[in-house]
Amino acid sequence: MTDGLIAPHGGTLIINLASQAEQQELRERAQALPQIVIGSRQLADLEQLANGAYSPLKGFLNHADYESVVNTMHLSNGLPWSVPVTLAVSSKQAEKLQEGSEVALVDQADELQAVLTLEEKYTYDKRHEARQVYRTEEEAHPGVKVVYQQEDVLLGGPVRIVSLQQQNFAQYRYTPTQSRQLFAERGWKRVVGFQTRNPVHRAHEYIQKCALETVDGLYLHPLVGDTKSDDIPADVRMRCYEVLLENYYPADRVLLGVLPASMRYAGPREAIFHALMRKNYGCSHFIVGRDHAGVGNYYGTYDAQKIFAEFDPALLGITPMFFDNSFFCRECQSMASQKTCPHGAEHHVTLSGTKVRQLLREGTLPPREFSRPEVARILIEAMREPVA
C-alpha cells in the first residue's frame, strides 16, 4: 500500500478535505452555523489537516491531547507529537458555542474554509505552554508572542475542510499523496527530507549531498507559510532553490516541493514536528543540522538533535540524520565540518548572517566557497528592489 515507502504517522494518511458532494452539503449547512474568523496560521493548519500532512490529526487538539502534547510531546494515545495544533477564541465567543455542535470557520473575507465539530472548549495556561514548547516565557520570542496574543479559550474537535486559499507556488505544492506518488514513480524508497526557511548556501548543499549519498532521493522541502518579517521572502527563496537545482544537483535524484506550514520557531520541538510532517510526505530520513528551527539564543546549538533521544525510534518512525556546522576549508580545499577537518578556524570560510546581508546590500558577491554566485545574484537583486 505504501509502494515500499515509509508508512504515514499513525499508519494511514488522514485526509480531512471534504469530497465535492460533501463540500456542497457543508456550505449549505454552514449558512446557519455560528462563525469563527481564523487567521493565517490556522489557514495553514487547515491545509495541512486537509492534505494529510498532520496525520493522524483529524482536527484541532482536544483537551487531553493538548495537555499530553504540551507536557509529554505525545498525543494521549502515546504517539509522538511535539507541537500543539490549536484554535483559540475569546471567552465571549466561546460562551455562544455548544459542545457537540458545528462551527463554521471562515477567512478574513468571510469565505467558508472548514466546518468544525466542537467536541470541547477549554481554557489553558499560556505561560505553561510557552515554557514547555518554547523553553522560555519571553514575549521577545516570536512563537511565545503568538501564544500570548491568542484568545483565552481553545476549541477542540475534528474538521472537514471545504476549500483552500489561493495557493502560491502551485506547481510545487505537492500533497503527501502526490509526493509519495512521485517518489514511487522514481523508484525511491529511502528519501531524505530537508527543511529550510532560508536560501541554501554551500554548507546546506554539502549536508544535503552527504545525505543523498546514502539514500535514493532528496526532497528539498522549504517552508513557505508565515515566517518572521526579517526572514527572506518565500518567492525569493524559491528562485534561489530553482537556480541551485538547475545547476548543481542531479535532476533525477532531487525533488523540490513546498511546505505550506507556518514557522513556530520552537527549536527542538519543531525539529520533531518537521520530521513527522516529512514522514507523512513519504520521507524515511530527515536532516537535522545546527540550531534547527531556532531563533535568537533560546536553544543550544545541537538541542534539536539531542531531543530525538527522548523518543522511541519505532514510534517516531522516521530516521534523523545529524550534521555538524559545515564550512569550506582552504587547507582541505573542500567542504568539511569539525568532524572531518583538522585545521583551525582561520582556514575556514565562515560568514555571519549580518556580514552576508551587508555584502548583498552592497551588491558584492560573497566568496564562492560560501554561496553559489547564481544564488547570491538573486539575493542581491531582491535586496535592491524598492520596499513597497
Give the residue numbers marked as catalytic: 197-198
Residue 201's contacts (CB-CB under 8 Å, 6 or more residues apart) are 370, 371, 372, 375
| DSSP E strand stretches across 201-333 | 217-222, 254-256, 285-288, 319-322, 326-329
3-state percent helix, strand, coil for the chain, nearest multiple of 5:
40, 20, 45
Compute the distance between CA of residue 256 and CA of residue 179 in angstroms, rounded to an integer.
Answer: 10
* CB 79 within 8 Å of CB 69: no
Distance of alpha carbon 147 from alpha carbon 7, whole angstroms: 32
Helices (H), 135-249: 142-149, 176-185, 202-212, 234-248
Q: Angle between the 353-361 and 373-384 helix axes, to the nearest 10 degrees?
A: 70
Strands (E), the chain: 35-37, 59-60, 88-89, 102-106, 112-117, 120-123, 153-161, 191-196, 217-222, 254-256, 285-288, 319-322, 326-329, 334-337, 348-349
Indicate the DSSP class of residue 386: P
Strands 112-117 vs 59-60: parallel, antiparallel or unpaired: unpaired
* Crossing angle of the two packed helices 268-281 and 176-185, in degrees rounded to 10: 60
Q: Which of 304, 287, 269 is nearest to 203 (CA)?
A: 287
The pairing of beta strand 217-222 with beta strand 120-123:
unpaired
Cell readout for 87 is 484554535
Adjacent-strand bridge partners of 195: 221
